[in-house]
Structure 1
Amino acid sequence: MINVFNNQPVWQKSGLWLLAGFLLTLSSCHKEADDVSPKTAATSNQNGTVDNWILENMRDVYYWNDKIPANPDTTLSPSDFFDSILYKFDETLRPDGDRFSWIQESADDLTASLSGQTKTTGMEFTLYLRSSGSTDVIAQVLYVLPNSPAAQAGLKRGDIISKVNGQSITTTNYESLLFSDASTYTYGLAQLNNQSLVDTDVTKTVNTAVYQENPVFLDSVYTIGSKTIGYLVYNQFVPAPNGSQGTEYDNQVDAIFSKFKSKGVNELVLDLRYNPGGYTSSSANLASLIGKGVDASKLYFREEWNATLTPYLQKEYGSDFFLQKFSTKAQNIGGNLSRVFVLTTDHTASASELIINGLRPYMTVTTIGTTTYGKNVGSITITDDSGKIKWGMQPIVFKSYNSLGQSDYATGFKPSVEVEEPITLYPLGDTRDALLGTAIGQITGTVASSRVGATQNSLKALGSSIQRKAGGSQMIRPLKHFSL
């Protein structure tokens, strides 16, 4: 939204803001193929318009705005220009640098995908090398969305895909085979036979469709002796479907905890193993249902912005602008809990890690699985709703701290109990599932080891479709319009 008040900071002109995070490198920035044709004056002028819009906003809001080059090249394509002004992470030279900012050509597509609406087959999967030293690749299905094309085709958690459209998947073609813009895929399945993967004649043909994902995937209650265990699989922090200004999905989470409370749940397992992040408001809502002794007076986390913008925000909106407090929730079950178990993998990121960090000052948080991704910063979606500029960008603008001032998880949270997902997967919610079963064992006292099944899966992971998910490693703050 470009306004005509030239004396206003550029960040006020930017329109729609969402605090967000990172789309992992598997999809990068949806960057277009390199164009080696000569650039016309019209192209350069068009690039200049967008690039200057990018530069003005970044100089105001970017967390590392003091590191932006003084005279960047505004004739570059917008994606290349955005990339050129970032304070990029380097393990040796810039260990404090940016791993997460990105830009996307369609702001509409960006905001839709942040709310869980995408064109998809309806399944998420992990990529593995088929065997040590091999260049062959398999894709193992992690979960399938209800009523999606993948579900209708009969695909299910644990299925192993070895071929796409008749071609074996390899390290050189998996990107083009699995992540193309095709409208139909035919997947060839393999199966585990005596600890060896064997191709089968089974194929599943799956179309793609625009699908609105509900992040509330599954909930259950297990009664084992004196323990009443609530279990929630929650795959993205999204308050409502795309286009809604409501809180439909948050309301579903509230209803689940109301049920947990009525059933006397006194232990909780929160399954965030495939949750790459999302809206901080939904993260705060969930934390407010879990935390022991929390209410609207207690701090969930605070934000640290750049030195340029902080004084202005402080003056205009007061210190509460930087604070996210808990809510007072009638459905809170914290009074019956002394601890919470969180199931994690390296897909557990950002707003999911915020749950772990934000609850740590108030109760024992036991993590089970593998080390989380490690993202303690957030960004905002900047769009121009005047219609002149179609791009949307997602620059990092703040770092988060819990109520004890802790922000020490840039390399992820190491699990309290280490468990790798094996190559044989049980349905989510099945107590034979490696992570859930370990959590239940911890609760009932039948599993005491701090390292369980860590070598069950010897295949080398290459990545995951979850890394391409918008909202992947996201910390998204609710939409805010700042009045003049």
Structure 2
Amino acid sequence: MKKYVVNNTQRNFIDQQPLRSGAIKWLFIAGFIFSLSACKKSTDDVTPQTSTGTSTAENQTVNDWILENMQQLYYWNDKIPANPDKTLTPDKFFDSILNKYDATTNPTGDRFSWIEDAATLTAGLSGQSVTTGMEYNLYLRASGSTDVIAQVLYVLPNSPAQLAGVKRGDIISKVNGQTLNTTNYADLLYSGGTSFTFGLAAVSGTSLVDTDKTISVTATTIQENPVFLDSVYTVGSKKVGYLVYNQFVPGANGSNAGEYDAQVDAVFSNFKAQGVNELVLDLRYNPGGYTSSSANLASLIGKGISSSKLYFREEWNSTITPELQKEYGSSFFIQNFLDKSQNIGTNLSRVIVLTTDHTASASELIINGLRPYMTVTTIGTTTYGKNVGSITITDDSGKITWGMQPIVFKSFNNAGQSDYSTGFTPNIEVDEPLNLLPLGDTKEALLSEALNQIAGGTTNTRRSSVTGNTLPVLGSSIQRKLGGHAMIRQLKTLKL
């Protein structure tokens, strides 16, 4: 029987797409130049660097491995070309056989599959990367301008960026003494260098003004803990639990302990002990991850759920489905909720989810999976739109050093719904402003609106008059996170 080895680090299927540091320069040049009006990622954004120094015979060996696996497992395997060019380098070959997304001609096509160095792939999916420890959005400095700014969205605790004094809301206009613009920003930010001197700008009225302030930061290898912030607020008679969760990752790279899932459990144990009866789940910067962690979080929130209730089911291609059914039974395609003693669903009438276009995949799975069981109110902007999931495929012999993350299934909730490929439109639209307050600040735009709803605000009506950021969007560092915009299922060896 053929054996397909799938990533069995600590996850289930995630909705992530990695963008590793070594590929960043190419990725951002390819991805951002033609996407000046949206942060959404194209296939080009996740193509790894071309391998060099390999012979045509070596390429063909790798490409045979790619093709065999993709013909068996790829969700759109019926769209693979009959006679693909196996003389291409593996990255280009992989790209050549995808059912590529096109907004006009193929709007349900593939925006998410990618191929990567296997070791880098597994590390990135666990939240480990070489980074300064901050994430940011990129904008044109003004409509029609070629100047670029980076607005810091959040900074990891104890990271080089935080230790150097970088804060959420800081606006970077220069890197290493050079003003960022559409020609040089990719080289300055993503050339693979690790030493940066950031020049800051400030908001003055309706304008951005450069300042004399600079901050020097050196990037290093960081393991990101996705459990970013949790708080409990009192609003009238309500106890409001608030969790900022930035990636669906069970544990650190190389760990099998599931320590991050355990931290989420501990947060909800505290919520339960404090009598939390309203929940605000902040997924605005969460691009996805492992479905196992998504199921864990959903099981802490769901109302009237148990391990006998379906969280989501998977639809695989018609080639592999009967084989999987025969080998593993129908339960292979089913993810039920988990029985969690820390579940607070009994005390909740709804969950409020804060969203942006960085909210993707396993994050959207939370929204879709909980909707049949309770009211899910979304506040923010439209989510990314990823209702498909992937697995990690590597060569167990070690002879092939590539790893693939192809889309292999589509997800459906208990009501049979999977209609969010263009994202979830928020119930209450609130744009983040150019002046960002700290996450967790009760005056911060999205959280403030959530607390207003809890205090008795008019449902689906925005109270806040905060003006959103109207600068043209160029891209985001979140797009390059490995596993970004991903829903990944962790599987052990499949024997077919």
Q: TM-score, length-normalised on structure 2? A: 0.92
Is this contact kept in 1: 2:5–2:494, CA < 8 A?
no
The alpha carbon displacement at 1:449 in A equals 5.8
Aligned counterpart, 1:199: 210
Q: Does the alignment pair 1:161 with 2:152?
A: no
- Kindly tell me: are residues 153 and 30 of structure 1, through their superposed partners in 2, closer, same or farther at Cα, counting changes over 3 Å? farther
Is this contact kept in 1: 2:279–2:351, CA < 8 A?
yes
Aligned counterpart, 1:403: 414
The alpha carbon displacement at 1:27 in A equals 7.2
The alpha carbon displacement at 1:175 in A equals 1.1
The CA distance in 2 between the partners of 1:15 and 1:258, in whole Å, is: 33
The CA distance in 2 between the partners of 1:427 and 1:14, in whole Å, is: 43
Which aligned pairs between 1:68-87 and structure 2 lie closer than 5 A? 68-87=80-99
3-state SS of paired residue (2:212)? strand
Percent identity at matched positions? 68
Aligned counterpart, 1:122: 133
Is this contact kept in 2: 1:419–1:453, CA < 8 A?
no
Q: Does the alignment pair 1:470 with 2:482?
A: yes
The alpha carbon displacement at 1:193 in A equals 1.3
The alpha carbon displacement at 1:458 in A equals 1.7
Q: Out of 382-391 and 270-279, give the one that drifted further.
A: 382-391
Aligned counterpart, 2:7: 16
Is this contact kept in 2: 1:288–1:294, CA < 8 A?
yes
The alpha carbon displacement at 1:460 in A equals 1.3
- Tell me which of 60, 69, 78 is aligned to 1:57: 69
The alpha carbon displacement at 1:173 in A equals 1.4
3-state SS of paired residue (2:78)? helix
Q: Does the alignment pair 1:268 with 2:279?
A: yes
Q: Residues 194-237 of structure 1, C-alpha deviation per residue, up to 9 Å, x if partnerless?
A: 22111011101100100000000000000121010000000000
Report the count of equivalent residues: 469
- Kindly tell me: are residues 217 and 56 of structure 1, through their superposed partners in 2, closer, same or farther at Cα, counting changes over 3 Å? same
3-state SS of paired residue (1:90)? coil
Q: Does the alignment pair 1:458 with 2:473?
A: no
Is this contact kept in 2: 1:89–1:97, CA < 8 A?
yes
Amino acid in structure 2 at the alignment position of 1:250: D
Is this contact kept in 2: 1:375–1:411, CA < 8 A?
yes
Aligned counterpart, 1:4: none
The CA distance in 2 between the partners of 1:146 and 1:26, in whole Å, is: 31
Q: Does the alignment pair 1:382 with 2:393?
A: yes
3-state SS of paired residue (2:68)? helix
3-state SS of paired residue (2:101)? coil
The CA distance in 2 between the partners of 1:22 and 1:210, in whole Å, is: 19
Structure of higher RCO (CA pairs closer than 8 Å, 6+ residues apart): 2
Q: Which structure 2 segments of 5+ residues have no match?
A: 19-40
Aligned counterpart, 1:185: 196
The alpha carbon displacement at 1:177 in A equals 1.1
Amino acid in structure 1 at the alignment position of 2:295: A
3-state SS of paired residue (2:122)? helix
- Kindly tell me: are residues 122 and 26 of structure 1, through their superposed partners in 2, closer, same or farther at Cα, counting changes over 3 Å? farther
The CA distance in 2 between the partners of 1:379 and 1:319, in whole Å, is: 19
Aligned counterpart, 1:3: none
Amino acid in structure 1 at the alignment position of 2:174: K
Q: Residues 63-97 of structure 1, C-alpha deviation per residue, up to 9 Å, x if partnerless?
A: 01111111111110001100111111123322221
3-state SS of paired residue (2:7)? coil
Is this contact kept in 1: 2:280–2:352, CA < 8 A?
yes
Q: TM-score, length-normalised on structure 1? A: 0.94
Q: Residues 23-75 of structure 1, C-alpha deviation per residue, up to 9 Å, x if partnerless?
A: 4349723533697xxx9xx6101110111100000000000111111111111
Aligned counterpart, 1:341: 352
Q: Which structure 1 segments of 5+ residues have no match?
A: 1-7
Aligned counterpart, 2:46: 29
Q: Residues 446-478 of structure 1, C-alpha deviation per residue, up to 9 Å, x if partnerless?
A: 465634458522211111100111110111122
Is this contact kept in 2: 1:26–1:467, CA < 8 A?
no
Is this contact kept in 1: 2:243–2:282, CA < 8 A?
yes
Is this contact kept in 2: 1:27–1:467, CA < 8 A?
no
Is this contact kept in 2: 1:418–1:454, CA < 8 A?
no
The CA distance in 2 between the partners of 1:303 and 1:176, in whole Å, is: 40
Q: Does the alignment pair 1:96 with 2:90?
A: no
The CA distance in 2 between the partners of 1:75 and 1:456, in whole Å, is: 49
- Tell me which of 246, 249, 259 is aligned to 2:260: 249
